[in-house]
Structure 1
């Protein structure tokens, strides 16, 4: 019998639903892709910041309001220059990628670094990228309940067209 990683139990207990509800609240179900440079001759962004939730929040200019403090992930609501976003750190790379893949079913813009994600409106994510580095990923909402929404860590848009 194969045992599942501990973080999967958090998902079953509703933590993911709370995180995704926060994302929907902040993004307003926005499905517009974020600017990612798209080969327009822009310089390569600085490497993604690293650190704890509090360290990343400080670099972003945020006093974090921690909402989830679990072994698998920590999440805080942040506000910088009057704009709100969610900052989440992860215990593992795999946990982060699975969270992102599931969250993308709800659309939105994501700034992704090593074991952290910032979620907000496209302009907020773009501004945070200047402070934290990282890669922008975007996705359109999917209502089929399947994961695997688009986007990639190299900055390509996950905006789908039919």
Structure 2
């Protein structure tokens, strides 16, 4: 019964946000080309940009994950997802400054992250590539510290 309830909740969330997007997209008339480009493939990414800043659960829903919350703090919330697409960590922040601080700290480790407004998804690069069409955001490469590998002799 829980998966049925989750599906209904996901449909209701996406439906109401799609309605919000349609009403705002149809208001001015000068952006008819942008409204015409609204397809199911990019609506999820748009919905993530509108709703995702403070909700791990909304991001998880958009990716088809039943999230397990692992951290609840004033500065961030983290949830773990295990799906057929791969495993990933969703981190949300109540303010953009907390996300920037988190990214600065994560830069020590390097790697790629999917980054949006007040949220970050951590996963293997191929998983990030699969999630990006659903969530939007941008894939950001963090440098890391320490010695760089020597050039190969090939």
TM range (shorter): 0.5 to 0.7
How far apart, in 2, do the equivalents of 1:115 and 1:82 lie? 23
Where does structure 2 lack aligned partners over 5 or more consecutive residues?
1-41
Query: Structure 1 segments of 4 or more deviating over 3 A?
Result: 45-48
Q: Distance in 2 between matches of 1:95 and 1:139?
A: 17
Gapped runs of 5+ residues in structure 1? Answer: 1-44, 145-161
Alignment of 1:90-129 (within 5 A): 90-129=93-132
Task: Tell me which protein shows more helix as a share of its residues.
Answer: 2
* Length, aligned pairs only: 102
Q: Which residue of 2 aligns with 1:77?
A: 80
What TM-score comes out, normalization by structure 1 length?
0.57
CA distance in 2, matches of 1:66, 1:143: 32
Query: 1:137 & 1:57 partners in 2: Cα distance?
Result: 20
Partner SS, residue 61 of structure 1: coil
Helix, strand or coil: the match of 1:130? helix
RMSD: 2.3
* Alpha carbons 1:108, 1:120 under 8 Å: kept: no
* Highest RCO, 1 vs 2 (Cα 8 Å, sep ≥ 6): 1
- Structure 1 distance, partners of 2:63, 2:94, is 20
Mapped to 2, the partners of 1:140 and 1:54 lie a distance apart of 29
| Structure-2-length-normalised TM-score | 0.60
Contact 1:78 1:84 in 2 (8 A): yes
